[in-house]
């Protein structure tokens, strides 16, 4: 048998038929995509002489591990690839500046409590386990004008690297809030410094990563959606500087512009302002939004999300 068995005329005819090419009904683009994906699978089966047992084992593995597909997308770099494509499209269109995008990840939960200007994110359960964090900054447009009334949605892990809702031991919406910027475009929050995430032990993502000699760790990070009418929706994260995985993120989300300095503050007016008496970590970070070229750019992707 030739190694390029998939290239044989009879197989090409099969690909045409299985992708509906000879049918009037159906969507032409979908037919082309199905033909490509199944055809590439055939080539892969040829190239690696995949056995029947291996194929069915893979199918069963993917079926049983489907609950983690969001993690697969992150860990196999597909989510980052979509960012790279969006960056390249911006570059082609001459769109520059603005806070860099980086992946959303699979752990956002809609419906977090909303407040004006400031929020405390943590419920106090991690008091004494990690450092208190005060993060603050301004949302501006690309011309430097403050954006008042912008929505800053923030979510991050606790001191064990776990996210509320997915970790049912945490209180509802712990470490998740929506903050509306004040008249000067400013937001601030008090929280605890998060710890990096690790893929669930024994899960399907970890299984793949182990098989290819990789780990499933992320450096400590804080997620943001920043949105405002007339501006392009921003999905991004900041990393906590100094984390051992800072430049070894299993999801490839770290970007140089998204590693603000962490100031270790003993006491200051800022702490007093937000009710923190002892030492805390301070991060100042401004978000710069692009103008929306069309209304659809004001919204996040239509990805399916948990709504609690
Ligand atoms: C996370 O916290 C995360 O941000 C991503 C991208 C993947 C898994 C866990
Ligand atoms: Fe995360």
Listed by start position, the domains of the chain span 5-50, 71-307
Please state at what angle helix 52-64 crosses helix 204-211, rounded to 10 degrees.
140
Nearest CA to ligand 1 atom 2: 197
Distance between CA atoms of 195 and 199, rounded to whole angstroms? 13
Distance between CA atoms of 61 and 84, rounded to whole angstroms? 29
Q: What are phi and psi of 73, to 5 degrees?
A: -60, -40
- Relative to beta strand 132-141, strand 280-284 is parallel
Q: What ligand 1 atom has the least distance to the C-alpha of 70?
A: 7
216 lines ligand 1 (CB under 6 A): no
Cα atoms in the Cβ-side hemisphere of radius 13 Å centred on 67 = 7
pLDDT score, position 267: 78
105 lines ligand 1 (CB under 6 A): yes
Distance between CA atoms of 35 and 19, rounded to whole angstroms? 5
**Dist. CA 156 → ligand 2 center (Å):** 6
Distance between CA atoms of 205 and 217, rounded to whole angstroms? 11
Nearest CA to ligand 1 atom 7: 105
103 lines ligand 1 (CB under 6 A): yes
Per-residue pLDDT tens for 122-165?
999 999 999 999 999 999 999 999 999 999 999 999 999 999 99
* Band (63; pLDDT cuts 50, 70, 90): very high
Segment 1-7 mean pLDDT? 84
pLDDT score, position 3: 75
Please identify every residue whose CB atom is under 5 Å from ligand 2, which is an ion.
105
Q: What ligand 1 atom has the least distance to the C-alpha of 157?
A: 2
- When computed from its CA atoms, the radius of gyration of the chain, rounded to whole angstroms, is 23
188 lines ligand 1 (CB under 6 A): no
Question: b/e string for 161-172 if b means 16 or more Cβ within 10 A?
Answer: bbbbbeeeebee
74 lines ligand 1 (CB under 6 A): yes
71 lines ligand 1 (CB under 6 A): yes
Closest CA to 217 of 48, 75, 43: 75
**Dist. CA 117 → ligand 2 center (Å):** 23
The class level of CATH for 71-307 reads mainly beta
Check whether 109 has a pLDDT greater than 80.
yes
């Amino acid at each position: 048998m030739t190694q390029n068995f998939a290239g044989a005329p009879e197989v090409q005819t099969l690909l045409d038929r299985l992708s509906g090419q000879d049918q009037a009904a159906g969507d032409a683009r979908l037919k082309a995509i199905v033909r490509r994906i199944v055809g590439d699978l055939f080539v892969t089966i040829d190239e690696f002489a995949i056995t029947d047992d291996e194929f069915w084992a893979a199918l069963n593995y993917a079926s049983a591990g489907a609950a983690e597909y969001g993690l697969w997308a992150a860990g196999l770099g597909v989510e980052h690839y979509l960012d790279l494509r969006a960056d390249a499209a911006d570059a082609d269109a001459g769109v520059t500046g603005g806070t860099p995008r980086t992946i959303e990840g699979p752990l956002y939960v809609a419906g977090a409590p909303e407040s004006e200007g400031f929020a405390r994110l943590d419920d106090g359960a991690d008091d004494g386990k990690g450092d208190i964090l005060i993060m603050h900054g301004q949302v501006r447009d690309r011309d430097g004008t403050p954006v008042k009334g912008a929505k800053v949605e923030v979510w991050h892990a606790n001191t064990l690297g776990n996210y509320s809702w997915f970790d049912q031991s945490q209180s509802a919406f712990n470490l998740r809030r929506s903050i509306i910027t004040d008249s000067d475009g400013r937001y601030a929050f008090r929280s605890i410094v998060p710890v990096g995430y690790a893929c669930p032990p024994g899960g399907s993502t970890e299984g793949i990563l182990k098989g290819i000699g990789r780990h499933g760790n992320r450096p400590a990070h804080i997620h943001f959606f920043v949105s405002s009418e007339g501006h392009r929706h921003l999905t991004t994260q900041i990393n906590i500087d100094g984390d051992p995985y800072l430049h070894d993120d299993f999801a490839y989300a770290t970007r140089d512009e998204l590693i603000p300095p962490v100031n270790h503050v003993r006491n200051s007016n800022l702490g007093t302002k937000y009710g923190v008496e002892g030492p805390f970590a301070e991060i100042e970070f401004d978000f710069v939004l692009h103008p929306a070229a069309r209304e659809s750019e004001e919204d996040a992707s239509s990805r399916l999300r948990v709504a609690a």
